[in-house]
Amino acid sequence: MGFEVAAERYARFMGRYAEPLTPFFADFAKVSMGHRVLDVGCGPGTLTRHLVTLTEAHLVAAIDPSPPFVETVARRLARVDVHTGVAEALPFADNWFDVALAQLVVHFLADPEEGLREMARVTRPGGTVAACVWDAETGAVAPFWQCVHEIDQDAEDEAFLAGARTGDLVGLLKRAGLRKVEPDTLSVRVVHPTFEDWWEPYTYGVGPAGDYVKGLDEPGRTALEKVARHRLGDGPITVTATAWAARGTVG
């Protein structure tokens, strides 16, 4: 999937939404000073950077399979313990962290349940595992897929991904063995001043939406852009994006 992209491209695409979501999610996960924390699927480090401000850099670890993202985190956050790897096989000892978080990641895991089970394994008894995933209908990329479906009804959007529907994420955490699982919804509002500001990042090849645009030929891309401009207008375009969140206790 399209996550081996430059950090700057991610920042223009999903970073616009991940950035404002981050403080809400860290708050929901109850991260506080002195906590040893793990950011799973850290991307270029939006949440990682925030965690450093909430606890201390040497208590923060991060992991992602995308080499350009891992290099960016290592360069920007020198004291963070950053690894290249996947959630399903975390390179950390049992019971090591107080809180393990996965922001906008679980739906991209090859095995979401195993990833959450691993997060629980590396978190101490009584500690917290928290995850959030965009809602299928009102997430950050929902307006894009609505445009796609106007011309390609069979296109596989992101609504089928794990955790994207009511109750999915809670079920996943429970099946991964977490206790006292609590849900919430987190919303952010992002204003794109122009249509181009909204559209261009979709041509960068980031995530499933970027993969979809990359797979179109020139007439297909032009047709999609035309539909999108017609639906969304020249701008400003305001996207209110909602994510499902769930947290559970280990042990």
Ligand X SMILES: C[S@@+](CC[C@H](N)C(=O)[O-])C[C@H]1O[C@@H](n2cnc3c(N)ncnc32)[C@H](O)[C@@H]1O
Binding site for ligand X (CB under 6 A): 3, 14, 18, 40-43, 46-47, 64-66, 69, 86-88, 103-105, 108-110, 207
Q: Angle, nearest 10°, between helix axes 207-214 and 142-151?
A: 30
* Amino acid present at 169: L
The residue among 156 and 233 lying less far from ligand X, judged by its C-beta, is 156
Q: Give all strands (DSSP E) within 97-222, no chain letters.
A: 97-103, 123-134, 179-192
Task: Please tell me the distance from the alpha carbon of residue 126 to that of residue 143, in angstroms, as a whole number.
Answer: 39
The residue among 91 and 236 lying less far from ligand X, judged by its C-beta, is 91
For the bound state, the minimum distance from the C-beta of residue 39 to ligand X, rounded and expressed in Å, comes to: 7
- Residue facing ligand X at closest CB distance: 43
The residue among 150 and 184 lying less far from ligand X, judged by its C-beta, is 184
Task: Please tell me the distance from the alpha carbon of residue 172 to that of residue 243, in angstroms, as a whole number.
Answer: 15
Task: Please tell me the distance from the alpha carbon of residue 107 to that of residue 93, in angstroms, as a whole number.
Answer: 25
For the bound state, the minimum distance from the C-beta of residue 85 to ligand X, rounded and expressed in Å, comes to: 7
Q: Which structure tokens are listed for 229?
A: 């401009």
Closest of 176, 162, 181 to residue 110, by C-alpha? 162
Residue 94 is given by DSSP the state: T
For the bound state, the minimum distance from the C-beta of residue 140 to ligand X, rounded and expressed in Å, comes to: 9
For the bound state, the minimum distance from the C-beta of residue 38 to ligand X, rounded and expressed in Å, comes to: 11
The residue among 110 and 151 lying less far from ligand X, judged by its C-beta, is 110
For the bound state, the minimum distance from the C-beta of residue 146 to ligand X, rounded and expressed in Å, comes to: 19
CA-to-CA dists, residue 218 to 75, 108, 174, 238, angstroms: 37, 28, 45, 27
The residue among 66 and 128 lying less far from ligand X, judged by its C-beta, is 66
